[in-house]
């Protein structure tokens, strides 16, 4: 007979396969980035910043493993954003400014794309994984037995998966703005002093976006209709700042490499808000 602890630790085979696949994807991300750096014809400051940011995604996959093992519902939207932005981040590094991509980097990109697609298939198509990702966040509880940190059902109805997707997508706005802003800082080192105010404004906008998104999504998960409208305004403002600065300071190449990932995140965020609004019907006033 199994004990309760043994039964709790035992996870479905699909969940165990998913955690293994996520670990392989995290390792593949690092390997592909090293290959891109090794074969890159220009190993400048911009490539170093973009490579470092792309490698940080491997830690995101490790964080996702923890959520999957604990059965957290946030694993799905986090996995979706990680997979989409990882493909964009690696793809923009594989393609050089001139010429064709090196074969090792191209093969690594294809492998990483297949891994990310497989991760998404398990997260969204496997019934065993769906039945596992149902646990609530643990909270600090004070009762007669003392102070403890344990899982409790939420006091209000749980936010829909689409709202969680919008929230996670919106949280990527700030880093996706800060990375190219740091890359544009190389223009200052090259003597383009006119770029100093623009780069500082870009950095400030990226930091301010993180606070705005944090405030907005806190109310978005509570079902406030105005929060969805505010997220649309924030998204439009972010794109209005980010895309022109990418084009001006980094050129067409930077617009494609650093603008496309943010556009993808914005589309996911807005689509999630729209789907959540349609699913919930008439919203209750705040």
- The per-residue pLDDT string of the chain (286 residues; one tens digit each, 9 = 90 and over) reads 344 344 445 678 889 999 999 999 999 888 888 877 776 666 666 667 777 777 777 888 989 999 899 888 888 888 988 888 888 777 766 766 666 667 777 888 889 899 999 999 999 888 888 888 877 666 656 666 666 656 665 555 555 778 888 988 899 999 899 988 988 887 666 666 677 888 999 999 999 999 999 999 989 888 788 999 999 999 999 999 999 999 988 888 788 878 888 998 999 999 999 888 876 655 444 4
3-state SS assignment for residue 140 = strand
| Same domain, yes or no: 100 and 205 | no
> Which of 101, 121, 155 is the endpoint of a domain?
155
36 shares its domain with 161? no
Residue 250 near residue 258 (C-beta atoms within 8 A):
yes
Same domain, yes or no: 167 and 149: no
Pair 170, 133 in one domain: no
Same-domain check for residues 130 and 271: no
Structure tokens that stand for 267 in this block: 């589309």
Q: Tell me, what CATH number does 44's domain have?
A: 1.20.120
Q: Which of 121, 155, 189 is the last residue of a domain?
A: 155
Residue 134 is encoded by which pair of tokens?
């149902």
Structural domain for 86, as ranges = 1-155
Euclidean distance between CA atoms 17 and 11, whole angstroms: 10
For residues 76 and 59, what is the distance between their CA atoms, to the nearest angstrom? 16
Nearest alpha-carbon partner for 179 in 201, 208, 206:
206
Q: Are 24 and 125 part of one and the same domain?
A: yes
Both 162 and 125 in one domain: the answer is no
pTM: 0.74
- Which of 98, 123, 155 is a domain's end point? 155
Total count of domains within the chain: 2
Q: Where are the beta strands (DSSP E) in the chain?
A: 138-143, 146-151
CB 88 within 8 A of CB 264: yes
């Amino acid at each position: 007979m199994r004990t309760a602890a043994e039964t709790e630790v035992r996870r479905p085979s699909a969940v165990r396969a998913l955690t293994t696949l996520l670990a392989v994807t995290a390792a593949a991300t690092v390997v592909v980035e090293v290959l891109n750096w090794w074969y890159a014809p220009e190993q400048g400051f911009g490539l170093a910043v973009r490579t470092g940011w792309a490698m940080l995604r491997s830690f995101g996959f490790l964080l996702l493993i923890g959520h999957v093992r604990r059965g957290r519902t946030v694993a799905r939207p986090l996995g979706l954003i990680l997979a989409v932005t990882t493909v964009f981040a690696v793809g923009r590094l594989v393609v050089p400014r001139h010429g064709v991509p090196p074969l090792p980097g191209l093969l690594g990109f294809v492998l990483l794309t297949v891994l990310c697609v497989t991760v998404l298939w398990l997260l969204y198509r496997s019934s065993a994984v769906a039945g596992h990702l149902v646990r609530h966040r643990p909270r600090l509880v004070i009762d007669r037995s003392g102070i403890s940190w344990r899982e409790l059902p939420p006091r209000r109805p749980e936010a829909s998966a689409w709202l969680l997707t919008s929230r996670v997508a919106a949280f990527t706005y700030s880093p996706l703005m800060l990375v190219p802003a740091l890359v544009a800082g190389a223009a200052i080192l090259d003597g383009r002093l006119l770029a100093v105010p623009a780069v500082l404004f870009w950095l400030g906008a990226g930091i301010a976006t993180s606070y705005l998104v944090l405030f907005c999504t806190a109310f978005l998960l509570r079902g406030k209709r105005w929060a969805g409208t505010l997220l649309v305004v924030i998204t439009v403002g972010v794109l209005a700042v980010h895309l022109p600065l990418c084009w001006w300071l980094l050129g067409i190449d930077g617009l494609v490499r650093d603008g496309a990932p943010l556009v993808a995140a914005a589309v996911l965020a807005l689509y999630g808000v729209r789907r959540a609004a349609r699913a919930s019907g008439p919203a209750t006033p705040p």
